[in-house]
Amino acid sequence: MIKINGKQVDLKHFPDGTLLLKELAPETEKVTLTWLFENNEELVGLYFLTKHLRSKGRKEIALQLPYLPNARQDRVKAPEDVFTLKYFAELINSLEFCEVEVLDPHSYVSEALLNNIRIRTPKKYVEKVLEQLTRQNERRVLLFFPDEGAMKRYSVMFEQPYVFGIKKRDWTTGEIEGLEAAGQTDLIPGSTVLIVDDICSRGGTFYYSAKALKELGAEQVYLYVSHCENTILEGDLLKTDLVEKVYTTNSIFTKSDEKVEAFSYE
């Protein structure tokens, strides 16, 4: 979904499948484009719309890009690997946005590749969840970070006690086979725990996180991820009672499920 100053753009198509766009330039001098990623075709639409706005004299154009596409391909390990994040960033940079706002990016590489980037942390959304859970369960919430990277990124944002995970992987396949909790594990028995991370696909990491926490005596486990892919509905996480609820934003999640609550990006 693409919006111009909060108004959704209708991405229509010609019979051959190419984009048919009709959009009046806003009267405001500064224009904000918001891209809530659904598919790669929207990148073409974003390019065309930005060029259209430039042709109408709009020089100050900002981009809100809460979910950063291609962030997972932030390095190349083999000659056949295509460095899509780098080339995506080059295309975005070519549009010369005065600001590119990104929510909780998956990779620090993206911060170096994108011009005029402004990072928004998930603190606002996590605090909203913490307030709700504290009021609901009448106890302080324990935070859990699934790995050391998440711990370093998020622990400084909150004054909550926390524990973190150490993943066990099959290094031949990259699959997660389990997870061990570390840190202040004595706080886990009888606690309400909120797992915090940036992105969820099918939910394997969080399945093992919740399983480990429950085995250590956690009473209730919740999950917050800034970006939740629709594929979470295909995984095992929501089919079990390990996690009470998943909180996320609408940066990429477009489906609906009774166990998923998506905050509007604002």
Question: 59-90: per-residue pLDDT in tens?
Answer: 999 999 999 999 888 888 889 999 999 999 99
CATH number for the domain that contains residue 155: 3.40.50.2020
If you search the block for the tokens 């524990």, which residue do you land on? Answer: 163
pLDDT higher than threshold 70 for residue 187: yes
pLDDT higher than threshold 90 for residue 177: no
For the chain, what is the mean pLDDT?
Answer: 93
Residues 152 and 55 in one domain: no
Encoded tokens for 41: 């075709």
CB 236 within 8 A of CB 207: yes
Domain housing 141: 123-263
Please state, in angstroms and rounded to a whole number, the distance separating the CA atoms of residues 88 and 232.
25
Residues 143 and 253 in one domain: yes
- pTM higher than 0.85 for the full model? yes
Q: How confident is the model at residue 174 (pLDDT cuts 50, 70, 90)?
A: low
Mean pLDDT score, 202-228? 94
Residues 152 and 104 in one domain: no
Residues 29 and 134 in one domain: no
Question: How high is the pLDDT of residue 167?
Answer: 77
